[in-house]
């Protein structure tokens, strides 16, 4: 039975440890960290979900909060559902595709662990992107490079964590991990293809029903 969450001092400390200290440990000790992530279950799914949501929030803040020196977005094009979809959809597809490909490659990771790794990997990107958004409001034209540096750093660290994370939970070597990524890309393409097929099928069914109903109306109404 779950204990009711109380904001006691030690609970708060534990949460801070989960959200910041442990991901930092994973960055600095990728091999050992992700090994324990799997074997000792140090990875927690609430942290993964937290950073998943934070990724969406960070993207929303970056869209609106980046200073206009570096912001090419049209404010009136802001679409919160699009931003959510642009995070959620790739995460979903990559998770499924990675699970599907590693199931064939004797990967040891479960779908839950794959999602957890991806969620944890958002940790550096989220905070660096938020930091970049803040400093973008205090920079001049010549200092834009700092902003881009932070964002690029976040993206590189994201890729780095995904690589070592998946390597750890599937218990692969580096070469096999690279193979796995190739297979994952192929699987993503396959998933997208199936989705497109499905959408087109639905469209056909819809248009069939639509024309059927209008035909029915014209004849018998």
Nearer to another protein, 138 or 220 (CB): 138
Q: Is the dihedral of CA 190, 196, 200, 205 positive or negative?
A: positive
What is the CB neighbour count within 10 angstroms for residue 143? 12
**Directed axis angle between helix 144-170 and helix 80-104, to 10°?**
30
**Residue 34 CB, nearest approach to another protein (Å):** 40
Q: Which residue's CB is nearer to another protein, number 69 or number 189?
A: 69
In whole angstroms, the minimum distance from the beta carbon of 144 to another protein comes to 9
Q: Which is nearer to another protein, 141 or 218 (CB)?
A: 141
The least distance separating another protein from the CB of residue 146, rounded to whole angstroms, comes to 14
Closest separation between CB of residue 124 and another protein, Å? 28
CB of 72 to another protein, least distance (A): 8
Give the H or E element holding residue 163: helix 144-170
Nearer to another protein, 2 or 140 (CB): 140
Q: Which of 80, 2, 89 is nearest to 46 (CA)?
A: 2
Beta carbons within 8 Å of 132's beta carbon, 6+ residues apart: 62, 66, 147, 150, 151, 154
User: Which residues are CB-neighbours of 104 under 8 A, at least 6 positions away?
Assistant: 183
Tell me the C-alpha distance between 21 and 143, whole Å. 30
Binding site for another protein (CB under 8 A): 68-69, 74, 138, 140-142
Nearer to another protein, 69 or 197 (CB): 69
């Amino acid at each position: 039975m779950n204990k009711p969450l109380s904001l006691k001092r030690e609970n708060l400390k534990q949460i801070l440890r989960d959200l910041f200290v442990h991901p930092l440990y994973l960055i600095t000790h990728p091999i050992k960290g992700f090994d324990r992530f799997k074997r000792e279950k140090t990875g927690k799914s609430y942290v993964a979900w937290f950073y998943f949501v934070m990724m969406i929030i960070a993207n929303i803040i970056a869209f609106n909060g980046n200073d206009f020196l570096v912001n090419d977005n049209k404010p009136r094009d802001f679409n919160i559902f699009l931003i959510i979809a642009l995070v959620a959809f790739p995460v979903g597809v990559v998770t499924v595709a990675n699970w599907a490909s590693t199931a064939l490659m004797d990967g040891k990771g479960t779908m839950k662990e794959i999602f957890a790794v991806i969620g944890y990997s958002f940790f550096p990107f989220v905070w660096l992107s938020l930091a970049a958004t803040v400093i973008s409001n205090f920079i001049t034209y010549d200092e834009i490079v700092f902003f881009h540096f932070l964002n690029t750093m976040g993206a590189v660290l994201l890729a780095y964590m995904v690589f070592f994370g998946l390597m750890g939970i599937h218990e692969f070597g580096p070469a096999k991990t690279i193979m796995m990524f190739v297979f994952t890309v192929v699987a993503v393409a396959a998933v997208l293809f199936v989705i497109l097929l499905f959408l087109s099928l639905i469209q056909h069914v819809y248009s069939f029903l639509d024309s059927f109903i209008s035909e029915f109306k014209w004849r018998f109404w």
